[in-house]
Structure 1
Amino acid sequence: MKMFMASLATETNSFSPIPTGWSGFKEHLYSKTASRGEAGLYATAVTAWRNMAEDKGWEVVEGLATYAQPAGPTVRAVYETMRDDILSDLTAAMPVDVVLLSMHGAMIAEGYDDCEGDMLQRVRAIVGPDAVVGLEIDPHCHLTEEMLEAATAIICYKEYPHIDITERAVDLFHLCADAAEGKTRPVMRDYDCRMMAMYHTPFEPVRGYVDRMSAMEGQGGILSVSLAHGFPWGDNPRVGTRTLVITDGDTELAATRARELGEELWEMRHDLRSFPSMEAGLDRAVAANAYPVVLADFADNAGGGAPSDSTFVLRAALDRGLTDIAFGIFWDPVLVGMCIDAGEGAVLPMRIGGKIGPMSGDPVDLTVRVRGIARDAVQHLGTAAMGMGDAVWLEAPGGVHIVVNTQRTQCFHPEAFECLGLDLSTLKIVVVKSSQHFYDGFAPIASEVIHLATPGAIPPDYSIIPYTKRDDNFWPKTENPFKDEALA
């Protein structure tokens, strides 16, 4: 057997003011040897695939692996150049038996609403109808008809935070290897749940739902089950939640189980977690009698395409006179450079945040002391090392601590603070710029975790997103998007 593998990934927030270009991809990962020891989220799948294929004695050809921090649509020429690079290497590798791709599932470029579907269709045209084509994607994806038509098998990560990327890569390899060896005949069917929501898997009722979904696999001809959460801030005609079932040759079973899972999720919709307002969340944190309380600045998550420099929570905390509080991670390469030049211990007047656009709020002027400097700082999401670039710890009067860095990224782990010497156990409140990926790292140290419905680039109000490419027939924008079908 001969296998070709590659990775091209970013998550596109159609409403982000930050374009996704060459600097975004080359800052994080841009390699044709990623499986040989590169760090980062999108090196994990190709690494697992190489190891497993070589264990079976397969020949492996590796194409480009690259990833950009989520932002606005990718520049057309950038996407086309990277796509064509991968397709050129695939063509040169022909004939191949298996193609495995690691992508995000919600990548949009100028002129392309569905980069994954475009890539898969072109891959299928090269390899022909008999080769096995597998795709591993983030659950925050747009599961499109083009993707389903061109792929043999698609698997989404099951967990949010995404701590199971390697496990799902292993699942996809086994599924595709069995298909290539003639042991199975995968068929896929999806179901449109007509919902827009966040499904945080550590909490009920989603925890039990994912466990029941996983338990179906390997039973009665069911090969794989995925929940495609959807990425609400991507303006795509198929944006929204879908269930996906892969069976061994039984299309009716796949369609039936996908519909049943979708209907079960629909019945759970009012039990999904809702978030307190910023002010209500701060009230809860102030009233706490155990520390630290971890607050999630949901709407300024760089992992959803936000700038990671909004000041709404910082300003509210300062107005309240809160002390022993930390914020991270603010993205400001210029400020970091100034602090490094001044050196540890320097006291400087600084303008914090509010620099990218209206969704960042107004800048905050503070006099700060440079308490710590870390070059090439790293934090982790599960086992994946996530670069922060250079980072500084700033302290303002009253015990207000702020971490600022040069590489736009969300806050994944306490390491983002600890690498600078800041001991979070001494604080009352820690505010992290993240929607959910922080949870696995911070929950063990937190007395309480509170997700805030903050203003910003990705506010958790799915009824106000200004779509131009899909209709309003989804919950919660429409209370019952199935009403017309029920009346028919």
Structure 2
Amino acid sequence: MRIFTAALATETNTFSPIAVDKRAFEASLYAKPGKHPATPTLCTAPITVGREVCAREGWELIEGSASWADPAGLVARATYEELRDEILEQLRAALPVDGVVLGLHGAMVAQGYDDPEGDMLGRMRGIVGPDVLICAELDPHSHLTAKRAAAANFFVYFKEFPHTDFVDRARDMWAIAVRTLKGEITPVMSVFDCRMIDVFPTSKQPMRGFVDRLYALERSEPGLLSLSVVHGFMAGDVPEMGTKVIAVTDGDAAMGAALAETLGRELFSMRGTFMVAQVDEKVAVDAAIAAPRGPVVIADVWDNPGGGTAGDATVVLAELIARGVTDVAVGTIWDPIAVQICMAAGEGAVIPLRFGAKSAPHTGNPIDQTVTVRGLVRDAQMRFGESFAPFGDAAWISFAGIDVILNSTRAQSFDPSLFSALGIDPASRKILLIKSTNHFYDSFSKIASQIVYCAAGKPYPNKPAETDYRKAPKGIWPMVEDPWG
């Protein structure tokens, strides 16, 4: 067997002012064929797992390019077309192939393209013809369109949020692909539109129990190959935005459709109950001060670079400063200019510095302080599960009992190693202020005495019923109370 694999992924917040060009991919991951590192990124596990699988099976794996950019705004049209065409040419050069196995995100939007993944998958189908297997692993915070579903044989999505299972789901996808290529099964994908948009953390009920049921059904139901919930991505203003359920069966579309609908309607019945309670910055700081011990983690959930925001909001930090709170570590505030100034000043320098709140309205005001530059790291990175997430050149500054990590490559706060990478012991601090919606939970919960979820400012469109969508469907919950009426 000859299998072609490649990856092209980012998550697009269409409301974000931060445009994405080729340099954004190069800052996160841009690997030419065969140059992908042994460790996968969030959306490139199909390549690293594919190396293991094809070596075991004695098959030839033909690697194309792998590209990932941290979530932000629209991808420049020329950048998307260049990266797409690079992979398409690699596929043409690899022909004939028996299968195409891809790593995608599923929420990319480019200038002129509401559905880049559907565009690329459709072009791939045109190249390889109707009989070659095409499958992909995707992030559930994405859009499942009719065009991409028609072009592929099947999709497998991460089940967990935080996405701690991206390698496991790549193994699931490859297992189905191997059985398909050996002629043992014929995967058929059935999709149910839940007519809703919500946020579904699996770190708490009711989504924890729902996902555990998906695992149990996959083990127990004859002919069922895979179940996925496509959460949807509310910051993507595209025509097919929303939550969907996928059932992949061995040739039994009717069974898959019935199961996907049953699960999808059950999910709809629990709408609005999935997210944890959130408080404003004043209540969050009150809770952190009152805690008998630390570290108390304040998660600034909507200034989350993982959702395409800048990660430079200062609302919570300003409240901490105004209240005279000390023993605080902040990770991170994105400000490449401030990092550059600190790099020039050098470690130990005491300098006046303005940082933060440059990207958009409703993110607070820039912070003006005389700071000490405590640490500088080039090309810093933190752990994320089995992978590493770069956050660029970084500076550790301190003032008035508060430590702040400034970073030059936007990245959400995945893991406490973002602090230790700069020389800060996160477990020793009373308060840790981080920027993430839920990906932080798996690692930070291991050291936190308490976690406070804070909704501060308006850097992210987190209330769909109030969001000024132009393209997204109007007839889904919570835009309407009863989309089935």
TM-score of the two chains, using structure 2 as the length reference: 0.96
Partner residue of 1:470? 472
Deviation at 1:474, TM superposition (A): 2.0
Q: Once superposed, what is the RMSD of the aligned Cα atoms?
A: 1.4
- CA distance in structure 2 between the partners assigned to 1:301 and 1:33 by the alignment: 32
Partner residue of 1:413? 415
Partner residue of 2:361? 358
8 Å contact kept, 2:331–2:435: yes
Q: Does 1:15 align with 2:15?
A: yes
- CA distance in structure 2 between the partners assigned to 1:42 and 1:338 by the alignment: 33
Partner residue of 2:402? 400
8 Å contact kept, 1:381–1:412: yes
Of all paired residues, the percent bearing the same amino acid is 44
Cα distance per residue 1:6-43 (max 9 Å; x no partner): 00000000010011101101111111224453663344
Deviation at 1:477, TM superposition (A): 2.4
Q: Does 1:385 align with 2:388?
A: yes
Partner residue of 2:120? 119
8 Å contact kept, 2:160–2:202: yes
Partner residue of 1:181? 182
Cα distance per residue 1:242-300 (max 9 Å; x no partner): 11111111111111110111111112224322322332222222222231110111111
Aligned residue identity for 1:52: V
Greater mean deviation of Cα atoms: 36-45 or 362-371: 36-45
8 Å contact kept, 1:310–1:456: no
- CA distance in structure 2 between the partners assigned to 1:251 and 1:367 by the alignment: 65
Greater mean deviation of Cα atoms: 223-232 or 341-350: 341-350
Cα distance per residue 1:64-113 (max 9 Å; x no partner): 10011111111111111111111111111111111001010000111110
Q: Does 1:91 align with 2:92?
A: yes
Q: Does 1:376 align with 2:360?
A: no
Partner residue of 1:261? 263
SS state at 2:102 partner: strand
Question: Structure 1 residues 43, 143: CA separation in 2 closer, same or farther (over 3 Å shift)?
Answer: closer
SS state at 1:121 partner: helix
Partner residue of 1:329? 332
Q: Could you tell me which runs of 5 or more consecutive residues in structure 2 were left unpaired when the two chains were aligned.
A: none
8 Å contact kept, 2:373–2:396: yes
- CA distance in structure 1 between the partners assigned to 2:136 and 2:190 by the alignment: 15
Greater mean deviation of Cα atoms: 357-366 or 297-306: 357-366
Question: Structure 1 residues 36, 292: CA separation in 2 closer, same or farther (over 3 Å shift)?
Answer: closer
Aligned residue identity for 1:83: R
Q: Does 1:164 align with 2:162?
A: no
Q: 1:318 aligns with which of 288, 304, 321?
A: 321
Deviation at 1:235, TM superposition (A): 0.7
8 Å contact kept, 1:184–1:249: yes
Aligned residue identity for 1:26: E
Cα distance per residue 1:100-157 (max 9 Å; x no partner): 0101000011111011111111111111111110111000010110111111110100
Q: Provide the aligned length of Structure 1 versus Structure 2.
A: 482
Partner residue of 2:345? 342
Q: Could you tell me which runs of 5 or more consecutive residues in structure 1 were left unpaired when the two chains were aligned.
A: none
SS state at 2:463 partner: coil
Partner residue of 2:457? 455
Partner residue of 1:212? 213
Deviation at 1:344, TM superposition (A): 1.6
SS state at 2:389 partner: strand
- CA distance in structure 1 between the partners assigned to 2:272 and 2:49 by the alignment: 38
Q: Does 1:439 align with 2:441?
A: yes
SS state at 1:307 partner: coil
Deviation at 1:372, TM superposition (A): 1.6
Q: Does 1:3 align with 2:3?
A: yes
8 Å contact kept, 1:35–1:50: no
Greater mean deviation of Cα atoms: 247-256 or 38-47: 38-47
- CA distance in structure 2 between the partners assigned to 1:457 and 1:34 by the alignment: 36
8 Å contact kept, 2:329–2:433: yes
Partner residue of 1:251? 253
Partner residue of 2:288? 285
8 Å contact kept, 1:292–1:428: yes
TM-score of the two chains, using structure 1 as the length reference: 0.96
Deviation at 1:362, TM superposition (A): 1.5
- CA distance in structure 2 between the partners assigned to 1:384 and 1:203 by the alignment: 24
SS state at 1:133 partner: strand
- CA distance in structure 1 between the partners assigned to 2:389 and 2:46 by the alignment: 15
SS state at 1:225 partner: strand
Deviation at 1:425, TM superposition (A): 2.4
8 Å contact kept, 1:300–1:306: yes
- CA distance in structure 1 between the partners assigned to 2:420 and 2:464 by the alignment: 35
SS state at 2:3 partner: strand
Deviation at 1:359, TM superposition (A): 4.1
Aligned residue identity for 1:379: M
Greater mean deviation of Cα atoms: 311-320 or 38-47: 38-47
8 Å contact kept, 1:331–1:406: yes
Partner residue of 1:150? 151
Aligned residue identity for 2:311: S
8 Å contact kept, 2:278–2:455: yes
- CA distance in structure 2 between the partners assigned to 1:198 and 1:316 by the alignment: 27
Greater mean deviation of Cα atoms: 371-380 or 147-156: 371-380
8 Å contact kept, 1:453–1:459: no
Aligned residue identity for 1:386: A
8 Å contact kept, 1:298–1:459: no
Deviation at 1:346, TM superposition (A): 1.3
8 Å contact kept, 1:378–1:416: yes
Partner residue of 1:73? 74
- CA distance in structure 1 between the partners assigned to 2:473 and 2:8 by the alignment: 29
Partner residue of 2:237? 235
Aligned residue identity for 1:20: V
Aligned residue identity for 2:318: R
SS state at 2:445 partner: helix
